[in-house]
Amino acid sequence: MSHHTFGRRASFWTAAAVVAHTLWTSAAPAMTYPLYASEWGLTPLATTTIFAVYPIAVVLILVCFGDISDYIGRRRTMLYGLAASLIGVLLFAVARDLAWVLVGRVFMGIGVGLSAGPSAAALVEFSKPGDEQKASAITTLSQVSGLICAALIGGFLIQYAPLPTRLNFVVLMVVLAAVFAATWFLPRHTSAEAPGRWRMKPIVIPRELRKIFAASTVAVTASYAMGTINLSLGAQIAHDVIGSQNVLVNGATIALFALAGGIVAIPGRKLRSGTAILIGGTSSVLSVGLLVFAAGQHSLGLFTMSLVLGGIAYSLLFAGGLGLLNSNAPAHHRGGTLSALFLVAYLGQGIAALLLGEIATVDGLKFAVDVASAMVAGLSFCAMLLSVLYAFAKPASPNVIGNSP
């Protein structure tokens, strides 16, 4: 191996950084939505549209290019994704009106769509032999690290630094440039590459994997639906419904969502996938119940408790779903299969964001919170049911807590 190419350990952590970028990039605009609404006179539907075009772009990329990294390699695909993310963040940094941020959001979606599956697969492939289960844990930890950075660094810069709608994105551009530079030194090929030349075709889930895929995908979609509430409406809920005016405080409460997920990832890595889904689904139902009560009482304390439970739910549902699929998907289908999982999860996220934005605009933010909570609870119950039917059907490796917005 050339001295210009990273070894296994450095490659593993570089792939983790690419995973972190997907959530940091996804969440970075969240706390600027109230500023855009004030500066440009946007409705809740307009601000959730900014959020929603991102998962829609992700879905289109996954439909067209979901398995491309199985053919051209994880490194090359991630480099394309990081380049697109950089363009998207640049457009946010110089945005003059809604059109600029919508185009920027599309480029962010392209970047994450190209990066999400390959980075998750690369973590598995760069794990030590016999320790592949660690990949799911680091995937989740990387995601929540990205969320925490977006919420705390972004909240601080927006509240206390000059250029509140721009400097946040300038800092993120520097981070993405560093991750791009590190990714350049990843190995150019992996043993998991599929034979033949890549061509655009539908993602096919092997028949024997479809029940497991269904259980995994519903669990991850439930976790992403939880993320939709907190990332598309969280800052607006804290500001309008709860009544908190400080952007850093609002960002810190949202960061609790990610921090709770990161903390539970450590002990949760020994849970079986089905057990993680059951605990995560229960936490999810409790979280949205508290959220409805917090919105009714205008209580920042209850809202904070809801975010903590929501973070636990996000982490365990995502980990359980991803770990279940990681332990069953064959290596030469792993990139495409993981991309298919993210396709469904992001599609659900985009539809939910648009629906909630319309409801918030027409019927008010409080009613949108009620609808969102019912939606998340329903998905969580489905995930728990499927985990009982399929995740416990055969012995599974211990799961590890292990990709958005």
User: Per residue in 202-233, pLDDT tens?
Assistant: 666 777 778 888 889 999 999 988 877 766 56
Question: Does residue 201 lie within any of the structural domains?
Answer: no
Domain count, the chain: 1
Query: What pLDDT, on a 0 to 100 scale, did the predictor assign at position 94?
Result: 94
Determine how many CB atoms are found less than 10 A away from the CB of residue 76.
18
> In angstroms, rounded to a whole number, what is the distance separating the alpha carbons of residues 111 and 340?
16
Query: What pLDDT, on a 0 to 100 scale, did the predictor assign at position 273?
Result: 83
Print the domain residue range for 104: 8-189+207-391
Instruction: Answer whether 91's CB lies under 8 Å from 103's CB.
Output: yes
Q: Is the dihedral of CA 276, 114, 111, 4 positive or negative?
A: positive
Query: Which residue numbers in the chain have pLDDT < 50?
Result: 1-2, 395-405
> In angstroms, rounded to a whole number, what is the distance separating the alpha carbons of residues 37 and 52?
16
Determine how many CB atoms are found less than 10 A away from the CB of residue 100.
14
Determine how many CB atoms are found less than 10 A away from the CB of residue 202.
11
Query: What pLDDT, on a 0 to 100 scale, did the predictor assign at position 200?
Result: 66
> In angstroms, rounded to a whole number, what is the distance separating the alpha carbons of residues 303 and 286?
12
> In angstroms, rounded to a whole number, what is the distance separating the alpha carbons of residues 390 and 41?
48
> In angstroms, rounded to a whole number, what is the distance separating the alpha carbons of residues 299 and 121?
41
Question: Does residue 2 lie within any of the structural domains?
Answer: no
Question: Does residue 277 lie within any of the structural domains?
Answer: yes
Question: Does residue 396 lie within any of the structural domains?
Answer: no
Query: What pLDDT, on a 0 to 100 scale, did the predictor assign at position 2?
Result: 45
Question: Does residue 299 lie within any of the structural domains?
Answer: yes
- In the chain, the amino acid numbered 61 is I
Query: What pLDDT, on a 0 to 100 scale, did the predictor assign at position 229?
Result: 75
> In angstroms, rounded to a whole number, what is the distance separating the alpha carbons of residues 229 and 365?
11
> In angstroms, rounded to a whole number, what is the distance separating the alpha carbons of residues 380 and 318?
11
Query: What pLDDT, on a 0 to 100 scale, did the predictor assign at position 241?
Result: 57
Question: Does residue 56 lie within any of the structural domains?
Answer: yes
Query: What pLDDT, on a 0 to 100 scale, did the predictor assign at position 336?
Result: 73
Question: Does residue 397 lie within any of the structural domains?
Answer: no
Query: What pLDDT, on a 0 to 100 scale, did the predictor assign at position 401?
Result: 37
Question: Does residue 399 lie within any of the structural domains?
Answer: no
Which CATH number do you get for residue 165?
A: 1.20.1250.20
Residues in contact with 29: Cβ distance below 8 Å, sequence separation at least 6, in sequence order: 50, 51, 92, 101, 105
Query: What pLDDT, on a 0 to 100 scale, did the predictor assign at position 103?
Result: 95
Q: Which stretch of DSSP H or E encloses residue 148?
A: helix 134-160
Q: What is the DSSP letter of 272?
A: B
